[in-house]
Structure 1
Amino acid sequence: MIDLDISDAGLWTVTLNRPEKANSLTAAMLEELVEIATRAQVARGFILTGTGKVFSAGADLDEARAGLATSTVWERLSAAVADLPCLKIAALNGTLAGGGNGMALACDIRLAVPTAKVFYPVMKLGYLPQPSDAGRMAALIGPARTKMILAAGQKVEAPEACAWGLIDRLVEPEALMDQARALLDDALAARPEVASGILAMCRG
């Protein structure tokens, strides 16, 4: 349910592959993603995407009811992705919901198809988001818009999310992966210390 492709150039492409369940994430899938992101410290570039029309619906419903929704594994995953020294791109093939937001927010650049939506219905579901999710979202779009999503439960369509800065570029579905790979061309060609050094400077 998690596909990994590693190119000769050092590009790691991770694909959520559970389209029949809207790429909802089980505990086993999340642990596998943490393990991949931990190993990807050696990656020269990193793309996170999904199959089907939804990037991720968040936690698998049955496992969410059993406690997965509030598990620390979400925070471990987003931290592992954020800690990667290479350029990280979330290529959102569709809607981004719930806990799936964390790994996308941990990436450096977010591309999305125009039909995608972003929502995170924690208030409605009765639990807190992972702390880093709220912090990273607020850093991108400000506290008021973050409250629109987390506290008011709004579904934000991709064009508005792009205008806010939550998504960096809208790309038609057939061009999504080509665009993601093209954005990594310079980073893959550069010396690793130059690529990681520029990214470190951008973080301030």
Structure 2
Amino acid sequence: MIRIEREGPRLTITLNRPEKANALTFEMLAQLAQAVTNNADARVLVLTGAGKVFSAGMDLAEAQSGLPRNPVWSDASEAIAEFPGLSIAALNGTLAGGAFALALPCDLRVAVPNANFFYPVMKLGFRPQPHDPARLAALVGPARAKLILMAGEKISAEEALSFGLIDRIATADEMEAVLERLTEGVCAASDAHLRAIKAMIDG
């Protein structure tokens, strides 16, 4: 339910369950964590979705099996956060709920113009994934994090850009060209140079 493609220095992982709006299952999260870890020598990680939605979040059919609190979420999220190259969430559509756990740890986020962003944990009675509130607040500030997580506001791509939640807006036709532009320098650099600069930024 995920597609893994490695082309030279670039690793692309696609959430590939479009008939279910790429709702995340235990299997998908475990496969994603393993794929990122096994390709730590890649210089670029692109995470995207098949179809018109990046991900609707957790598959609610698996909620009763304990998925909301399963450590597989942290495994996937931390694998992305610890990726030593440049990670980009190419948001081909709406980002919802637990799928924030995959997009927030990426270094950059690029979204299509019609993408929406919402995290309905207050309404559904779930808690956010463990690292999400702090990562969200680091990007958009505490008040806007509360606007999304507590007030349950749905925000547009334009609002997400102004908040700092995403870094670029690109149409589906423009997305690949934008990704190539953003990763050109990283792909041309040495591994040591890439990792040194990322370490200087991340501390």
Cα deviation 1:36-91 (Å, max 9, x = unaligned):
11112111111000111100011112012332122221111111100011000100
Aligned to 2:27: 28
Instruction: Classify the secondary structure of the residue corresponding to 2:128.
Output: coil
Q: Which amino acid aligns with 2:153?
A: Q
Show the counterpart of 2:147: 148
Q: Which residue of 1 aligns with 2:3?
A: 3
- Gap runs ≥5 in structure 1: none
Check if 1:166 corresponds to 2:170. Answer: no
Q: Which residue number in structure 2 is paired with residue 70 of structure 1?
A: 69
Task: Give the share of equivalent positions with the same residue, in percent.
Answer: 51
Amino acid at match of 1:96: L
The Cα of 1:177 is off from its aligned counterpart by 2.4
Aligned AA for 2:156? E
1:46 matched to 2:65: no
Structure 2: gaps of 5 or more residues:
none
Question: What do residues 154-186 of structure 1 show as CA deviations (whole Å, max 9, x unaligned)?
Answer: 111110010000010100111112211321111
Aligned-residue Cα RMSD (Å) equals: 1.0
- Counterpart residue type for residue 130 of structure 1: Q
In 2, Cα distance between the equivalents of 1:146 and 1:78?
Answer: 18
Q: Distance in 2 between matches of 1:103 and 1:96?
A: 10
Q: Quote the offset at 1:103 in angstroms.
A: 1.1
Quote the Cα distance in structure 2 between the aligned partners of 1:27 and 1:13. 20
For 1:181 and 1:106, locate their aligned partners in 2 and report how far apart those are by CA, in whole Å: 20
1:186 aligns with 2:174: no
SS of the residue corresponding to residue 131 of structure 1 reads: coil
TM (normalized to structure 2)? 0.97
Instruction: Count residues with an aligned counterpart.
Output: 203
Asked if the contact 1:70/1:127 (under 8 Å) is kept, the reply is: no
Q: CA deviation at 1:151?
A: 0.6
Distance 1:39 1:181 in 2: 23
In the aligned structure 2, how far is the partner of 1:181 from the partner of 1:96? 22
**CA distance in 2: counterparts of 1:89 and 1:150, whole angstroms:** 23
The alignment's TM-score, normalised by the length of structure 1, stands at: 0.96
- Residue 59 of structure 2 corresponds to residue 60 of structure 1: yes
Whether the 8 Å contact between 2:45 and 2:85 is mirrored in structure 1 is yes
Distance 1:72 1:121 in 2: 20
Aligned AA (1:2): I
Amino acid at match of 1:5: E
**1:203 Cα deviation after fit:** 1.2
